[in-house]
Amino acid sequence: MPQTGYIPPFSVSAEILRLVGDISELVGRLDVSVNQSRLPQLRKENRIKTIQSSLAIENNSMSLEQVTAIVEGKHVLGPPNEITEVKNAIDAYNLMLELNPYKAKDLLRAHGLMMAGLVNECGRFRNGGVGVTDGVHVVHIAPPAMRVPQLIAELIEWVKHTDTHPLVSSCVFHYEFEFIHPFADGNGRMGRMWQTLLLMQWRPLFAWLPVETIVKENQQEYYRVISLCDSKGESTAFIEFMLRCLYDALTEMEKSNQKSNQKSNQKILNLIIANPAISMREMQEETGLSESGVKKVIRQLREAGLLVREGGAKGGHWKVTK
């Protein structure tokens, strides 16, 4: 493994090991159970949640309904800079599938889109010093600007080549990114976006996981943990925090998916009750499911003992047993 001489300080606690195992199990279940027919709509809904929540953490007041309207190209009333933030975030997230998380030039490209028209130094690293405040006190002084390109290069090399589990290494990257604070503005939203991009390399599912909604709900804890890690000089507490957020976001996604599957199952049953001789094609047209989606529901219903087929494939009919 190539060595950069840079190893971010952190330790793998028992809590981290437990969360990595639980998250991996959840991801495995979701990979199998996600309703494929709902993927386009699910991706759109979750992308909107991601954008709204990530910007809300940065004090953008646009509601979920307003962000949805902007995504759909509708006119929205609101502070011009906040509307610009939303439009920029949409452009940046739309680019995600083209971005390489291991290239600094792609990081700069994404920042250029995210902060266009909002700061003068968009699309390039800051050229001055910067401090982070809690509204009253300075809680963090970032490294000097002249060190930023090298620090980011070393961080990218580390996350690219480390043997650390992607769930953990992406959290380490997120924290170290915020510590370096490479941009004049937009560091928070870029750090969260880049962690998602890194996780996508492990499992595509993370491309549309709205973990930012959980971070927003725990915003004060997010900043408290970052400050705690700054004082300790290592990122273990932040890793634990972000893994808990990922677990909670995946749990919510699983619950939503289960509700969607239950609705599809009930709809198929209702169609069969109304017309026992209904064809696969007719069920597709009525439910909007793909052929494989309908077959999957039929298989689940038969395995649950709720449905049987009487007669042959041709001329036969379905029978609801319970």
Highest mean pLDDT among 38-52, 158-172, 258-272, 277-291: 158-172
Q: What average pLDDT score do residues 53-76 get?
A: 94
What phi, psi does 292 have (nearest 5°)? -65, -35
Name which of 33, 39, 112, 56 is nearest 299 in CA terms.
33
Residue 67: what pLDDT?
Answer: 96
C-alpha–C-alpha distance, residues 26 and 284, integer Å: 29
CA-to-CA distance for 304 and 124, rounded, in angstroms?
A: 57
Q: Which of 126-135, 150-159, 195-204 has the lowest mean pLDDT?
A: 126-135
pLDDT of residue 302: 83
Segment 212-231 mean pLDDT: 91
Per residue in 130-145, pLDDT tens?
Answer: 776 656 666 678 899 9
Q: What is the pLDDT of residues 25-56, one digit of tens each?
A: 999 988 776 655 555 666 788 899 999 999 99
* pLDDT tens digits along 308-318: 888 766 667 88
Among 109-113, 130-134, 138-142, 279-283, the minimum mean pLDDT is found in 130-134
Measured in whole angstroms, how far is the alpha carbon of residue 100 from the centre of its chain?
16
Q: Where along the chain do its domains lie?
A: 14-256, 275-320
- Domain 14-256 bears CATH identifier 1.10.3290.10: yes
The arithmetic mean of pLDDT across residues 300-322, rounded, is 78
Residue that wins the pLDDT comparison between 266 and 150: 150
| Residues linked to residue 308 through DSSP beta bridges, in sequence order | 319
The mean pLDDT value for 201-222 works out to 91
Q: How far apart are CA 169 and CA 177, in angstroms?
A: 12
Three-class secondary structure assignment of the chain: CCCCCCCCCCCCCHHHHHHHHHHHHHHHHHHHHCCHHHHHHHHHHHHHHHHHHHHHHCCCCCCHHHHHHHHCCCCCCCCHHHHHHHHHHHHHHHCHHHCCCCCHHHHHHHHHHHCCCCCCCCCCCCCCCCEEECCCCEEEECCCHHHHHHHHHHHHHHHHHCCCCHHHHHHHHHHHHHHHCCCCCCHHHHHHHHHHHHHHHHCHHHHHCCHHHHHHHCHHHHHHHHHHHHHHCCCHHHHHHHHHHHHHHHHHHHHHHHHHHHHHHHHHHHHHHHCCCCCHHHHHHHHCCCHHHHHHHHHHHHHCCCEEEECCCCCCEEEECC
pLDDT of residue 316: 75
Average pLDDT over residues 79-101: 95
Average pLDDT over residues 105-113: 97
Q: What confidence score (pLDDT) does residue 308 get?
A: 86
Q: Average pLDDT, stretch 160-185? A: 96
CA quadruple 241, 110, 57, 198: dihedral, nearest 10: -20
User: Sorting pLDDT into bands at 50, 70 and 90, what band is 2?
Assistant: very low
275-320 CATH pick, 1.10.3470, 1.10.150, 1.10.10, 1.25.10: 1.10.10
What's the chain's length in residues?
A: 322
Contact 182, 126 (CB under 8 A): yes
Q: What pLDDT score was predicted for residue 289?
A: 74
By mean pLDDT, which of 7-21, 60-74, 135-149, 237-251 is the weakest? 135-149
pLDDT mean across residues, the chain: 88
Six-digit token pair at 137? 């006190």
Contact indicator for 30, 257 with CB cutoff of 8 Å: yes
